[in-house]
Amino acid sequence: MTGPGRRLALFAPMGLLIAAFVLSVAGLLWSSATRGGIGLYVELLSDPGILRVLWRTVWIAVATTAACALLGYPLALFLARSPRRNLWLLLVISPWLVSIVVRTFGWVVLLGNRGVVNTALRDWGLIDAPVRVLFTPWAVLIGLVHVFLPFMVIAILSSLLLQDRRLEEAGRILGGTRWQTFRRVTLPLSLPGVVGGSSLVLLMSAGAIVTPLLLGGLRDRMLGTQIYTEVFQVFNFERATAMAVILLVVALVLVAPLRLLEARVRRRLEGA
C-alpha cells in the first residue's frame, strides 16, 4: 500500500479511538441536556453534599499532583543519574504488574485501625488509641499518590534524559555550585516534564474511582465514587450523567492553566 491508502490504514485504529471518545462525550452531553436539563445542574450545584464532594475532589486531585511532583522529582533525578537506571525503573513501574484493586487493598491492610501501621505504633507505645486514617481523605491521598507516582516519575525522567549533560557542566564551570546549577539549569529545563506529568496525574486523580471507593469509604466520596454510587446503587442515571459532565468541566478547568504553562515553557525553550 502506498500514499493515501497507507496513511488511512495507519490512521484507522486511531480514528476508531477518537470516534469512540467523541461519540461517548457527545452522547453524555446529549443525554444530560435532554433528560435532566439545566434544572438538574442547579439542583446538584446547590446541594451542600455535592459541593463538598466537588471541593474534596479538587483538593485531593491537586494535593495528589503536588505530592507526586515533590516525591517524583528527586526520584526521577536519581534515576536519570543512576548507571543502573533500567533496574531502578523496573522497580518504579513494578506496581503496574499488580491490579489496582489488589494494590489499594494493601493500603486497607496497612492503614486500618487494626492494620500494620497502627499496631506497630501502639506496640512501640507511641500512641494509645489507633490513628484513624483509613476511610478518610488522607488514606485516599496516600493511595492515589502510590498509584500515580510512576506516571509523574516517567514524565520527569524523560525530560531529564533529553537534557544535554554538558549544560550542567557549563553551569559548573561558569561558577555554579551543584545546587545553583540545578536551580538555574537542570530544573527550568525539566519543567515541561513536570508540567506534563502534573496534567496527567491531575486528570487521572480527579476521575479516580477504585482508590477513593476502597480507601475513602462511602462517607468521604469523590466525584468518581459519587457517580459510581448513582449508577450502581441508586440507579439514577440522570444525576450520574450530570455529575459526569461536572467532572469533565472540573478536569478541564484544573488542567487548563497547566496546559497554558506548558505551552509557555515550551515556547521559551524552543524559541518558536
Partner 1 sequence: MPRSGSVGHLEIDSVSRSFGSLRAVNAVSLDIAAGEFIAFLGPSGCGKTTLLRIIAGFEAADSGRLTLDGRVLAGLPPNRRDVGMVFQNLALFPHLTVAENVAFGLELRRKGTAEIARQVEEALALVALDGLAGRRIQQLSGGQRQRVALARALVLHPAVLLLDEPLSALDLKLRRQLQGELKALQRRTGTTFVFVTHDQEEALSMADRVAVFNRGGLEQFDTPQALYGRPATRFVAEFVGDANIRSAAQLAPLGLSLPAGSLLVIRPEDCVVGTAAAAAPVRIDGVVEAVDFVGPHARLRVAPDGMPAGTTEPWLALLPGAALDGLAPGARATLGFDPARAAQLPASQIRGGA
Interface residue list for partner 1 (CB under 8 A): 164, 166-167, 169-177, 180, 184-185, 188-189, 268-271
Q: In this complex, which beta carbon is closest to partner 1, that of residue 50 or of residue 265?
A: 265
Q: In this complex, which beta carbon is closest to partner 1, that of residue 10 or of residue 174?
A: 174
Q: In this complex, which beta carbon is closest to partner 1, that of residue 49 or of residue 188?
A: 188
Shortest distance (Å) from residue 264 CB to partner 1: 12
Q: In this complex, which beta carbon is closest to partner 1, that of residue 6 or of residue 268?
A: 268
Shortest distance (Å) from residue 202 CB to partner 1: 24
Q: How does DSSP assign 163-231, residue by residue?
A: S-HHHHHHHHHTT--HHHHIIIIIHHHHHHHHHHHHHHHHHHHHT--HHHHHHHTTTS--HHHHHHHHH
Q: In this complex, which beta carbon is closest to partner 1, that of residue 112 or of residue 196?
A: 196
Backbone angles phi, psi at 174, to 5 degrees: -80, 0
Shortest distance (Å) from residue 218 CB to partner 1: 48
Q: What is d(CA 104, CA 231) in angstroms, rounded to the nearest whole number?
A: 22
Sign of CA dihedral 19, 239, 148, 190: positive
Q: In this complex, which beta carbon is closest to partner 1, that of residue 19 or of residue 167?
A: 167
Q: In this complex, which beta carbon is closest to partner 1, that of residue 1 or of residue 173?
A: 173
Shortest distance (Å) from residue 183 CB to partner 1: 11
Q: What is d(CA 155, CA 130) in angstroms, rounded to the nearest whole number?
A: 37
Other Cβ atoms within 10 Å of 272 Cβ, number: 7
Shortest distance (Å) from residue 72 CB to partner 1: 21
Contact yes or no for 230/243 (Cβ under 8 A): yes
Q: Cα dist. 250→41, 62, 180, 263 in Å? A: 14, 12, 38, 20
Shortest distance (Å) from residue 195 CB to partner 1: 14
Q: What share of the chain is helix, strand, coil (3-state, %, to 5)?
A: 85, 0, 15
Cell numbers that stand for 132 in this block: 484513624
Shortest distance (Å) from residue 166 CB to partner 1: 4
DSSP secondary structure letter of residue 12: H
